Amino acid sequence: MKKFALAALLGLSLLPAALNAQVVVRIAPPVAVVEHPGPRPGPGYEWVAGYHRWDGARYVWVPGRYDRPPHAGAHWVAHRWVHRNGGYVLQEGHWR
């Protein structure tokens, strides 16, 4: 039981580092796909542009969508790939 508790404690202590881990992709991302969003599904919706994600072997396009901001005045900051550490790191999109 002590071994299990020690292993669990060690695993929990490593969790914050794993959550902040960034994948560095050595291949530059492709040019973004030009999307033509249709009409808004209703008032208050904002377009969240698509982006390329890395699936471990290649880039995969994630299509854009309409979404509602979490509060009045919020706007979407798009996903983007940043050149860092000899490769590219995805900065996740978020509401600001």
Flag whether pLDDT at 12 surpasses 80.
no
Flag whether pLDDT at 17 surpasses 50.
no
* Beta pairing class for 46-48 and 65-67: antiparallel
pLDDT over 70 for what percent of the chain? 79
Q: What is the pTM of this model?
A: 0.76
Domain parsing of the chain, residue ranges: 22-95
Q: Tell me the residue type at 30.
A: P
**pLDDT bracket for residue 63 (50, 70, 90):** very high
Per-chain mean pLDDT for the chain? 88
**pLDDT bracket for residue 1 (50, 70, 90):** low
